[in-house]
Amino acid sequence: MSDLISTPEASDQEPLLDTLLREAVPEVKLALGDLIDRENQRAIPDRYQKILPESTLVVTLRPDAAAAVQPVAPELERELTDSCMRHGSLYDRAYRVRLRAASSPGAPLFRVASRRGDEPDPEPFLPPRPEPTPRPALEAAPLAAPPIPSGPSAAAVEAAANETVIAPRPAEPPRAPEPVRVAAPAAPPTISAPSAPSEPFVDPDATRLDGFVPQPPASPAAAVQPGRWDAERFVLVVESEEGEERERFPIPNPLTTVGRQTDNPELRADAAITNAPHVSRRQLALVWAPRGDDVGFTVYNVGLNPLHVNGNEIPGANRSKGELMLEELMGDHTEWVAPDTPMRIGEHGPVLRLADLRPAETAADEPEPADEVEAAPAEVEMDPDATRFG
């Protein structure tokens, strides 16, 4: 420790920074060299000397000295570190120097110490902030008394007595607020159930033609439009190569996926075929696509195996995983298929076929045609009073 420099109150002829750099810095270097010599008095084997970590020497400055060297603190740390590195090379040791400000104004000018390896790094060098000088309290000036209003003059009083005073118009009474009319909520529309078709009404005074047989109304199955989707119209029939039917799946939606059975719900197809290990878990996508009066489906081969249909081989797109993006599969991976067209997956089947149930239902619902009744020729009635010629 050193007390060479007094506090700044004792001398104010020279700046404290100049005095520190000229007198205190050499003293600090000597103190650091003595500390390094004391640490290396005991001999250390060479193999241990090479693995010793870099040591940190902390120089603690008095608060006023720390504030004075603040502008040149990084340069001062580098200079002290270079000096200690040269001195420590005598012992094959490496040292670095860190500056720190003391917390008490009564501390010595500087103090050096060695930080052990298990101690945390010293805080960055920040000199303490000087305490603000209390400002003298300002004495509150007495407030001036408000001016005393003077009374009206005699001339103003006489003029006011002779002036004709017009009474103000009485204020109108406040109007009562108009009531707010709120419209009643409209009743929800009543949806009536569709009534059953009534029997045809026959007018008793209408002209009747002998031999005319009224035709019954067409069945609902026959009234279905060709391009309109019917959820109960088509089924998917799975057959073996020999033509034996193995399974049958309904096609309730315009878009139906076909594949083998799987436990993964993300890859499970709508029509899951059993005992088909060589069929992809999502092999085909059937999309309702009528062409005019011709019904049919567009078949997308999204699996791995090719599809044989209409004499063509449709290669698989291998898109059986992830989201089904059919718009990306237009072209070589699609084929338009009419009902009852055989479709074979791979080389060994199975064979799939879309069966149309509407023609059978239509033929069963249509009534047998009624026997035509040949109308007998009506006899011509002769008037007995009519004039006869010949």
Query: What pLDDT, on the 0 to 100 scale, is given for residue 167?
Result: 53
Q: Which residues of 349-368 are buried (b: 16+ CB within 10 A; e: fewer)?
A: bbbbbbebebeebbeeeeee
Among 115, 149, 179, which residue terminates a domain?
Answer: 115
Q: What percent of the chain has pLDDT over 90?
A: 29
CATH of the domain at 241: 2.60.200.20
Among 115, 139, 155, which residue terminates a domain?
Answer: 115
Query: What pLDDT, on the 0 to 100 scale, is given for residue 7?
Result: 47
**Residue 239: beta bridge partners?**
245, 351
224 lies in a domain?
no
Predicted model pTM: 0.37
Residue 268 structural domain: 234-365
- pLDDT category at 257 given cuts 50, 70, 90 is very high
**Residue 247: beta bridge partners?**
238
With CA atoms as reference, report the closest residue to 128 among 30, 61, 218: 61
pLDDT in tens, 354-374: 999 986 444 445 455 555 545
The count of domains in the chain is: 2
Q: Which residues of 71-105 are buried (b: 16+ CB within 10 A; e: fewer)?
A: eebeebbeebbebbeebbeebebebbbbbbbbeee
136 lies in a domain?
no
The DSSP letter of residue 344 is E
213 lies in a domain?
no
39 lies in a domain?
yes
- The mean pLDDT value for 88-102 works out to 89
Phi, psi of 162 (to 5 degrees): -85, -10
- pLDDT category at 3 given cuts 50, 70, 90 is very low
pLDDT in tens, 13-67: 578 888 888 888 999 999 999 998 998 887 777 777 666 778 899 999 999 989 9
Phi, psi of 250 (to 5 degrees): -70, 155
Query: What pLDDT, on the 0 to 100 scale, is given for residue 78?
Result: 93
Query: What pLDDT, on the 0 to 100 scale, is given for residue 240?
Result: 86
46 lies in a domain?
yes
357 lies in a domain?
yes
274 lies in a domain?
yes
Mean pLDDT across the chain: 75
Among 90, 115, 140, which residue terminates a domain?
Answer: 115
CA angle 121, 123, 127 (to 5 degrees): 150
Neighbours of 316 (CB within 10 A): 20
- pLDDT category at 209 given cuts 50, 70, 90 is very low
Query: What pLDDT, on the 0 to 100 scale, is given for residue 358?
Result: 80
154 lies in a domain?
no
- The mean pLDDT value for 371-384 works out to 58
Contact (CB, 8 A) for 238 and 284: no
